[in-house]
């Protein structure tokens, strides 16, 4: 099976998280009255945790996409499914961390997560679209698992 190499997976995840740190900090500040330093530190820690999710989720998603379609080409609906499944997995990790590390109440944590879900749905979609355009899998359109 032809997929992205390990360096490409790592570059994808690292570049994604660089932009995500800024967005997570802004969403955390918007969700509750907290200090910028505390929100930034939380975003950095959260990014380290989610970095592992990013590495794993995209690789697993691409594996199942390949198995189901024989291609790594992501049309609009597949990209949307990728984004939604990623954000739901991120929420499962993020909400407990928000409650514990930021000492948010449940309403604040859920508000933060809802805001992050919307912002990151757009960010993830645009990021992956742009990444695939900048670093295409050269064989994605031409190679089929049936060949």
Q: Considering only CA atoms, which of 93, 86, 123 is closest in space to residue 109?
A: 93
What share of the chain has pLDDT > 70, as a percent? 91
Of all residues in the chain, the percent with pLDDT exceeding 90 is 7
Judged against a pLDDT cut of 70, whether residue 139 lies above it is answered with: no
Of the candidates 46, 56, 19, 16, the residue with the CA atom closest to the CA atom of residue 109 = 46
Yes or no: say if 121 and 83 are a contact pair by the CB < 8 Å rule: yes
Joined together, the tokens standing for residue 113 give: 């997560």
Q: Which residues contact 64 (CB under 8 A, 6 or more apart)?
A: none
Segments of 28-114 assigned E as strands: none
**C-alpha–C-alpha distance, residues 21 and 15, integer Å:** 10
Q: Would the pTM count as exceeding 0.95?
A: no
């Amino acid at each position: 099976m032809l997929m992205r190499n390990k360096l490409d997976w790592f570059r994808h995840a690292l570049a994604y998280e660089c932009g995500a740190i800024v967005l997570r900090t802004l969403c955390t500040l918007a969700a509750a009255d907290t200090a910028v330093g505390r929100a930034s530190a939380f975003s950095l820690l959260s990014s380290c945790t989610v970095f592992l999710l990013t590495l794993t989720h995209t690789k697993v998603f691409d594996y199942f996409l390949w198995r189901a379609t024989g291609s790594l080409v992501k049309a609009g609906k597949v990209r949307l499914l990728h984004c939604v499944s990623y954000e739901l997995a991120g929420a499962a990790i993020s909400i407990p961390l928000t409650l514990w590390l930021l000492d948010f109440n449940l309403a604040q944590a859920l508000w933060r997560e809802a805001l992050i879900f919307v912002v990151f749905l757009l960010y993830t979609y645009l990021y992956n679209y742009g990444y695939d355009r900048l670093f295409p899998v050269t064989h994605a359109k031409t190679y089929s698992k049936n060949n």
